[in-house]
């Protein structure tokens, strides 16, 4: 399809703004370089974007079991509420008396999230999961720094962790200690005991972990880290398995981030905006980024924690994203939240039971909200890889699972159906997976060639990186 | 309680049976039994009708002003109807990061188009897909500029205080020294800059126009920064960029900024949009996502996420940043906005904003509210106030007339005028202020 710059004519433009009703003023130093922006009539403009939208697979386009990404249905009421003019048309620097409703909203979801997390304090400033991780690890840094415990310069991360965990620790100035996982995919307690010491600042952990298993040793894990003087950070990427069922705070974690755009149903938007709310225990509250929202009687106000390590972004957070999550929590309530998680877990186990008929599971036991298949045997036998199966799924109108993650499982496909998929849609999806398994054995070439029905064939990524073309040239 | 779980009770029984457990709770066999939550301490769920009423009640407690004369990092510009229409399409709204390129060509192409538009606006050679906001974009440039010898970062005190705050946080994080250089007459103090930058200077950041609304002497600053061997980073207002000398023309190494003015609601501060553009030389040091054009197996043009070897999912602790999700839908919105406005509309928005701000400043001066600083400005300016309580009195009087006045800042008021404000509204504001003085 054409790029937007290749459409329309240079003389075309919309009539959007009125004539200037005051004397015109211009810059003393104006730009010299000509400005090339698109030039289309409104009809052609909308056609371009309709064509763009048709070349995208959204949650409403079909099964989307992207492991670790929690692609649940994004309720329409959330969008309606976040679009209310009383929220979208208020300036972030209005006097607090004039934005009490907005502050009430932030306070309300803060209270709910604190309860779901099992934490005492919260900030809604972080804009995404990784930004929340940054904020959480900064709490750990601020704590040790404040205590003068400056030798604690290492963060422990299991080798099954998301890449954001070690990247975050490094951004926060820590050395990363990667520890190997046990054979069951869980934390190897001996490896952890060997790794902790007087230089341990903390541990970053997901539970359930990235292979979809709830670590039964979780209390011992957090205890080992605490005994060594470190703190425990909960990566909430997998919170959808346990919200309202178990609280990270009760597992012994000191701080947590949650991806509101996963667990609390706000849309992903093709890669954001998300929200990475961070919760912490009482003793860390004084280090939170400022400002936080406080309530005094019926009044809401901003307050700056006593030893805040500073702000992590401008203003107060991805406000309308937070509103969508608040709407979701208000809808589900105290019964619906655990109900959602338990059904997410049921769906994953059901899907696993269907796929187990042919595929090999990396860890063949009851899983949480997601599970990992290992396609090494299939690959050895047929030459068909996890990538090939994924591309075959594209030809069947499905979004593939997460591929090649976690790194500790070879030829991995990680499947997370979420609670909003029906049995019917999972039955149909599973049928396709099983059909592709058979196809791998009978006609591997067909899968090597896939996709053939998508908007394009496989793309040359190596060439793209070697000779980067990252903009259109006029 | 509302629910989005489609499974019926009979299906649930069937599924549990197939999985081989009796109840949902049996699935949590690894959870220590005393760890289960008995009941959450949050309200019971509600029907959609009740939720709508409750949330609408919150929205209605907020004051929406008819006229907004406040900016300071959040700018109330006109948003064409086509922008909301296009950006609310559910495919665009609900899709994930385009890892599966073959069924994500729409998103990938739109990012490629956005990158092109940002390169056009800034004059730079490369753009990323987006960052959380202008402040984090500014902060994330510092590691790009540092090396073993050049370890200190510098920022002008005339940048937005939130940007300086975020830079301080990020520098505290990775143990970088950040020096805030003083202002003189509302602009960067060039003499102080000359004295400050040494062999260990990695970069210097200014905002253009700056927090006081003034145009910095960016030519002179570029010369000083480059003479010291450091990188010059400019945070630019994207509407102003339609008309003003570009960061590339000033000689900036990296151009960043807050993209909110490009079609995003002021929405109590977010979600907004950070943008980051640079030279080909620094391309491989960029943090965050970048889309590149390539060919598919049939030789047709297509788009992929590229240069991913910089990123966290590949490079882990050696990545250029931990950024993963960014503000894609906001970048998409900005792209649609720029496409709708076109060159003509963007330039018009910039000229109207600038002209109206100048008209307002001159009218305020006539009634005794003088500008605090001399020098060229775009659509924001600071006026002095005669008495300590004047700013509050002025803004209270304006608020009574449904006008959000300027922001009270140290020793004055920071005003902003955009193209949506009419001359009649400005005249009305001036008349109200005159009564107060």
Q: SS3 letters for A194-248?
A: HHCCCCEEEEEECCCCCCCCCCCCHHHHHHHHHHCCCEEEEEHHHHHHCCCCECH
Inter-chain residue contact B96 with A40, CB threshold 8 Å: no
Residues in chain B with CB shorter than 8 Å from the CB of A35 are 120-121, 242, 343, 346-347
Distance between CA atoms of B258 and B269, rounded to whole angstroms? Answer: 11
- Residues of chain A positioned with their CB less than 8 A from the CB of B92: 52-53, 56, 58, 269-270
Q: Which residues of A376-404 are buried (b: 16+ CB within 10 A; e: fewer)?
A: eebbeebebbbbbbbbbbbbbebbbbbbb
CB contact under 8 A, A51 and B269: no
Residue A348's closest chain B neighbor by CA? B19
Residue whose entry in the numeric block shows the structure tokens 């079609």: B263
Cβ–Cβ under 8 Å, residues B323 and A305:
no
Mean pLDDT within A99-120: 98
Q: Let me know: does A318 contact A275? Beta carbons within 8 Å.
A: yes
The mean per-residue pLDDT over the stretch B265-293 comes to 97
Residue A192 shares a structural domain with residue A243 = yes
What would the mean pLDDT of B246-258 be, rounded to a whole number?
98
**Pair B325, B315: CB distance under 8 Å:** no
Query: What's the pLDDT tens digit per position in A268-316?
Result: 999 999 999 999 999 999 999 999 999 999 999 999 999 999 999 999 9
B275 φ, ψ to 5°? -120, 155
Q: Is the same domain home to A224 and A316? A: yes
Does residue A173 surpass a pLDDT of 80? yes
Closest CA to A208 of A173, A248, A171, A179: A248
Domain-located, residue A345: no
Residue A237 pLDDT = 96
Averaged confidence pLDDT in chain A: 97
Give me the residues paired with residue A259 across strands: A276
A414 at B interface, C-beta within 8 A: no
CB B129 within 8 A of CB B288: yes
Q: Give mean pLDDT, residues A129-142.
A: 98
Contact yes or no for A56 and B106 at CB 8 A: yes
Answer yes or no: do A419 and B347 touch at CB < 8 A.
no
Same domain, A141 and A194: yes
Token duo for residue A82: 């976040």
pLDDT at residue B387 in the model: 77
Averaged pLDDT, B270-297: 97
Do residue A110 and residue A10 come from a single domain? Answer: no
Q: How far, in whole angstroms, is CA B67 from its chain's centroid?
A: 22
Angle at B291 (CA atoms; ends A458, A73), nearest 5 degrees? 80
Q: Does A101 touch chain B (CB under 8 A)?
A: yes
Q: Measured between CB atoms, does A121 come within 8 Å of chain B?
A: no
Which of A295, A310, A332 is the C-terminal boundary of a domain? A332
Residues A185-208 pLDDT 10s: 999 999 999 999 999 999 999 999
Task: Say if CB A128 and CB B326 are below 8 A apart.
Answer: yes
A46 min Cα distance to partner chain B (Å): 7
Element of type H or E holding A256:
strand A255-259
A72 inside domain: no
Q: Which residue, chain included where needed, has tokens 């991806």?
A: A259
Q: Is A6 on the interface with B (CB under 8 A)?
A: no
8 Å CB contact of B16 and A323? no
pLDDT above 80 (res A77): yes
Contact A229, A149 (CB under 8 A): yes
Contacts (Cβ under 8 Å, ≥6 apart) of A357: A434
Residue B3 pLDDT grade (very low, low, confident, very high; cuts 50, 70, 90): confident
CB A305 within 8 A of CB A146: no
Secondary structure (3-state) at A140: helix
Q: Is residue A186 part of a domain?
A: yes
* Residue A38, in any domain of the structure: yes
Residue with tokens 């005339």: B158
What is residue A204's predicted lDDT score, i.e. its pLDDT?
98
Report the residue of chain B nearest A31, measured CA to CA. B245
CATH number reported for the structural domain that contains residue A144 in this entry: 3.40.640.10
| pLDDT confidence of residue B389 | 86
State the pLDDT confidence band at A390, using cuts at 50, 70 and 90. very high
Q: Nearest CA to CA, how far is B191 from chain A (Å)?
A: 23
Place of tokens 């202020």: B433
Residue in B closest to A394 by C-alpha: B103
A166 near B CB under 8 A: yes
Interatomic CA distance for residues A10 and A75, integer angstroms: 41
ipTM (interface pTM): 0.98
Q: For B346, name the nearest residue in chain A, comparing CA atoms only.
A: A37
Alpha-carbon distance A204 to nearest alpha carbon in chain B (angstroms): 13
B1 to A112: CB separation less than 8 angstroms, yes or no:
no
Please compute the mean of the pLDDT values over residues A380-402 and round it to a whole number: 96
The angle, 0 to 180 degrees and rounded to 10, between the axes of the packed helices B9-19 and A423-442 is 40
* Chain A nearest-CA residue for B250: A31
On whether residue A427 sits in a domain, the answer given is: no
Residues of A in contact with B246 (CB under 8 A): 31, 33
Residue A237 lies in a domain: yes
CB pairs < 8 Å spanning A and B: 682
Query: By C-alpha distance, which of B337, B339, B82 is closest to A5?
Result: B339
Nearest to A20 among B116, B121, B352 (CB): B352
Of the residues A23, A36, A93, the best mutation for testing chain B's interface (the one with the most B CB atoms within 10 Å of its CB) is A93
- Chain A within 8 Å of B43 (Cβ-Cβ)? yes
Beta strands of A147-210 (E only): which ranges? Answer: 154-158, 175-179, 200-205
Per-residue pLDDT tens digits for B98-133: 999 999 999 999 999 999 999 999 999 999 999 999
Give the model confidence (pLDDT) of B330-343 as tens digits: 999 999 999 999 99
Q: Contact B2/A320, CB-based, under 8 Å?
A: no
Residue A305 near residue A287, CB atoms below 8 Å:
yes
Predicted confidence at residue A10, as pLDDT, reads 87
| CA A120 – CA B219 distance, rounded (Å) | 50
The count of structural domains within chain A is 2
* pLDDT tens digit sequence for A238-274: 999 999 999 999 999 999 999 999 999 999 999 999 9
Interchain CB contact of B81 with A (< 8 Å): no
CB atoms within 10 A of CB A111: 17
Judgement on whether residues A132 and A251 belong to the same structural domain of the protein:
yes
Asked if B110 and A52 come within 8 Å (Cβ–Cβ), the reply is yes
Using an 8 Å CB-CB cutoff, list chain B residues near A245. 28, 31, 36-37
pLDDT score of B1: 61
Using CB atoms, pick whichever of B104, B289, B296 lies closest to residue A458.
B296
Judge: A246–B28 Cβ closer than 8 Å, yes or no: yes
- Say yes or no: A116 and A249 in one domain: yes
Count CA atoms closer than 13 A to A292's CA, side-chain side: 26
**Claim to verify: residue A90 and residue A38 sit in the same structural domain:** no
Q: Which residue has the tokens 């830079």?
A: B167
Residue B2 has pLDDT above 70, yes or no: no
A440 inside domain:
no
Q: Is A27 at the interface with chain B, CB within 8 A?
A: yes
Q: Is A376 touching B (CB cutoff 8 A)?
A: no
Domain limit, last residue, from A317, A332, A347? A332
Q: What is the pLDDT of residues A47-65, one digit of tens each?
A: 999 999 999 999 999 999 9
* Residue A186 sits in the same domain as residue A254: yes
pLDDT of residue B388 exceeding 80: no
Instruction: Indicate whether A40 and A127 sit together in one domain.
Output: no
Contact residues on chain B for A64, CB-CB shorter than 8 A = 96
pLDDT value at residue B193: 98
Question: Does B402 contact A at CB distance below 8 Å?
Answer: no
Domains and CATH numbers, chain B: 9-59 (no CATH), 67-78+346-436 (3.90.1150.10), 81-336 (3.40.640.10)
Mean pLDDT of B134-151: 97
Nearest CA-CA distance, residue A39 and chain B, Å: 6
CB proximity B428 to A under 8 Å: no
Tell me whether A153 touches chain B (CB under 8 Å): no
CA A128, A129, A130, A135 dihedral sign is positive
DSSP string, B79-122: --HHHHHHHT-HHHHH---S-SGGG-HHHHHHHHHHHHHHHHHH
Q: Is A77 on the interface with B (CB under 8 A)?
A: yes
Shortest alpha-carbon distance between residue A402 and chain B (Å): 9
C-alpha torsion A138→A142→A143→A146, nearest 10: 170
Cβ-nearest to A271 among B30, B74, B97: B97
Distances (CA, A) of B349 to A108, B77, B114, B241, B404: 38, 8, 19, 11, 20
pLDDT in tens, A9-50: 988 999 999 999 999 999 999 999 999 999 999 999 999 999
pLDDT band at B411 (very low <50, low <70, confident <90, very high): confident
Q: In this structure, are A45 and A184 located in the same domain?
A: no
Q: Which domain holds residue A84?
A: 77-332
In a domain, A425, yes or no: no
Subunit contact B376:A27, Cβ cutoff 8 A: yes
- Looking at A332, A358, A384, the residue that finishes a domain is A332
- Say which residue the tokens 């004047």 belong to: B390
All residues of chain B having their beta carbon less than 8 Å from the beta carbon of residue A176 are 316-317
Contact A198, A227 (CB under 8 A): no
Q: How far is A441 from chain B (nearest CA, A)?
A: 23
Average pLDDT over residues B374-390: 92
Residue B153 is inside which H or E element, if any? strand B152-156
**pLDDT given for residue B208 in this prediction:** 98
What pLDDT does B385 receive? 87
Handedness of CA A198, A204, A210, A215 (dihedral sign): positive
**Least CB–CB distance from B27: residue in A59, A366, A391:** A366
| B159 contact residues in A (CB cutoff 8 A) | none
Q: Searching chain B, which residue's CA lies closest to the CA of residue A115?
A: B41
CA pair distance B304, B302, nearest whole angstrom: 7
The reply to whether A221 and A86 lie within a common domain is yes
Do A111 and A10 belong together in one domain? no
């Amino acid at each position: 399809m054409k790029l937007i710059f290749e459409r329309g004519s240079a003389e075309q433009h919309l009539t959007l703004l009125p004539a200037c009703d005051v004397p015109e003023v211009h810059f003393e130093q104006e730009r010299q370089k000509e400005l090339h922006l698109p030039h289309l009539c409104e009809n052609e403009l909308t056609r371009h974007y309709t064509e763009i939208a048709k070349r995208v697979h959204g949650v409403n386009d079909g099964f989307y079991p992207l492991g670790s990404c929690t692609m649940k249905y994004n309720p329409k009421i959330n969008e309606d509420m976040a679009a209310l003019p009383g929220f979208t048309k208020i300036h972030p620097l209005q006097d607090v008396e004039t934005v009490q409703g907005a502050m009430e909203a932030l306070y309300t979801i803060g209270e709910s999230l604190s309860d779901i997390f099992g934490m005492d304090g919260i900030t809604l400033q972080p804009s995404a999961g990784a930004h929340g991780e940054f904020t959480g690890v900064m709490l750990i840094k601020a704590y040790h720094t404040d205590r003068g415990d400056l030798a604690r310069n290492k963060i422990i991360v299991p080798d099954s962790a998301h890449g954001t965990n070690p990247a975050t620790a490094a951004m926060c100035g820590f050395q990363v200690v990667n520890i190997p996982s046990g054979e069951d995919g869980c934390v190897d307690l001996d490896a952890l005991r060997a790794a902790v010491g007087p230089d341990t600042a903390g541990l970053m952990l997901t539970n359930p972990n990235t292979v979809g298993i709830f670590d039964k040793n979780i209390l011992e894990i957090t205890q080992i880290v605490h005994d060594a003087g470190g703190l425990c950070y909960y990566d909430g990427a997998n919170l959808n398995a346990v919200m309202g069922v178990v609280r990270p705070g009760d597992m012994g974690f000191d701080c947590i981030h949650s991806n509101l755009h996963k667990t609390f149903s706000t849309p992903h938007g093709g890669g954001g905006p998300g929200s990475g709310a961070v919760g912490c225990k009482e003793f860390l509250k004084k280090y939170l980024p400022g400002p936080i929202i406080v309530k005094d009687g019926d009044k809401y106000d901003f307050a700056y924690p006593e030893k805040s390590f500073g702000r992590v972004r401008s203003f107060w957070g991805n406000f309308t994203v937070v509103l969508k999550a608040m709407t979701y929590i208000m809808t589900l309530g105290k019964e619906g939240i655990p109900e959602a998680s338990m059904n997410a877990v049921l769906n994953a186990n059901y899907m696993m039971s269907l796929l187990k008929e042919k595929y090999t599971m990396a860890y063949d036991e009851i899983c949480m909200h997601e599970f990992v298949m290992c396609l090494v045997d299939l690959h050895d036998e047929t030459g068909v890889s996890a990538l090939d199966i994924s591309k075959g799924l594209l030809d069947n109108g499905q979004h593939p699972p997460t591929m090649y993650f976690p790194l500790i499982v070879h030829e991995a496909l990680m499947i997370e159906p979420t609670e909003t998929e029906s049995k019917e849609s999972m039955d149909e999806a599973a049928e396709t997976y099983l059909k592709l398994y058979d196809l791998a054995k009978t006609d591997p070439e067909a899968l090597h060639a896939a996709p053939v029905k998508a908007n394009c064939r496989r793309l040359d990524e190596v060439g793209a990186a070697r000779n980067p073309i990252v903009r259109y040239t006029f | 309680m509302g629910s989005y779980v489609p499974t019926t009770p009979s299906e649930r029984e069937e599924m549990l049976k197939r999985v081989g457990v009796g109840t949902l709770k049996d699935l949590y066999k690894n959870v220590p039994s005393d760890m289960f939550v008995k009941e959450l301490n949050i309200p019971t769920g509600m029907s959609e009708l009740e939720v709508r009423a409750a949330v609408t009640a919150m929205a209605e407690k907020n004051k929406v002003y008819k006229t907004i004369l406040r900016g300071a990092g959040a700018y109330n510009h006109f948003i064409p109807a086509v922008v909301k229409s296009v950006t609310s399409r559910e495919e665009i709204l609900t899709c994930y990061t385009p890892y599966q390129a073959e069924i994500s060509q729409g998103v990938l192409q739109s990012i490629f188009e956005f990158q092109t538009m940002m390169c056009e606006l800034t004059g730079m050679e490369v753009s990323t897909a987006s960052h959380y906001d202008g402040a984090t974009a500014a902060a994330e440039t510092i590691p790009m500029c540092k090396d073993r010898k050049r370890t200190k970062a510098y920022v002008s005190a005339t940048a937005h205080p939130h940007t300086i705050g975020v830079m301080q946080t990020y520098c505290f994080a990775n143990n970088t020294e950040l020096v805030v250089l003083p202002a003189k007459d509302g602009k960067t103090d060039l003499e102080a800059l000359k004295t400050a930058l040494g062999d260990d200077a990695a970069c210097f950041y200014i905002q253009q126009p700056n927090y006081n609304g003034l145009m910095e002497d960016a030519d002179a600053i570029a010369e000083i920064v480059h003479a010291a061997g450091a990188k010059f980073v400019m945070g630019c207002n994207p509407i102003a960029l339609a008309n003003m000398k570009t960061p590339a023309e000033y000689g900036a190494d990296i151009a960043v900024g807050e993209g909110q003015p490009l079609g995003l609601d002021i929405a109590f501060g977010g979600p907004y949009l950070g943008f980051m553009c640079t030279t080909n030389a620094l391309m491989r040091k960029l943090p965050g996502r970048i889309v590149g054009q390539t060919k598919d197996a049939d030789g047709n043009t297509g788009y992929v996420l590229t240069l991913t070897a910089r990123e966290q999912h590949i490079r882990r602790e050696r990545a250029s940043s931990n950024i993963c999700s960014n503000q894609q839908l906001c970048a998409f919105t900005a792209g649609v906005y720029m496409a709708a406005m076109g060159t003509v509309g963007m330039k018009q928005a910039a000229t109207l904003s600038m002209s109206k701000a100048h008209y307002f400043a001159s009218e305020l001066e006539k009634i005794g509210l003088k500008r605090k600083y001399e020098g060229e400005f775009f659509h924001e300016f600071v006026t002095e106030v005669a008495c300590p309580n004047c700013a509050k009195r002025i803004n209270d009087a304006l608020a009574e007339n449904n006008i959000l006045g300027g922001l009270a800042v140290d020793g004055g008021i920071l005003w902003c005028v955009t193209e949506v404000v009419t001359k009649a509204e400005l005249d009305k504001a001036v008349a109200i202020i005159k009564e107060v003085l």
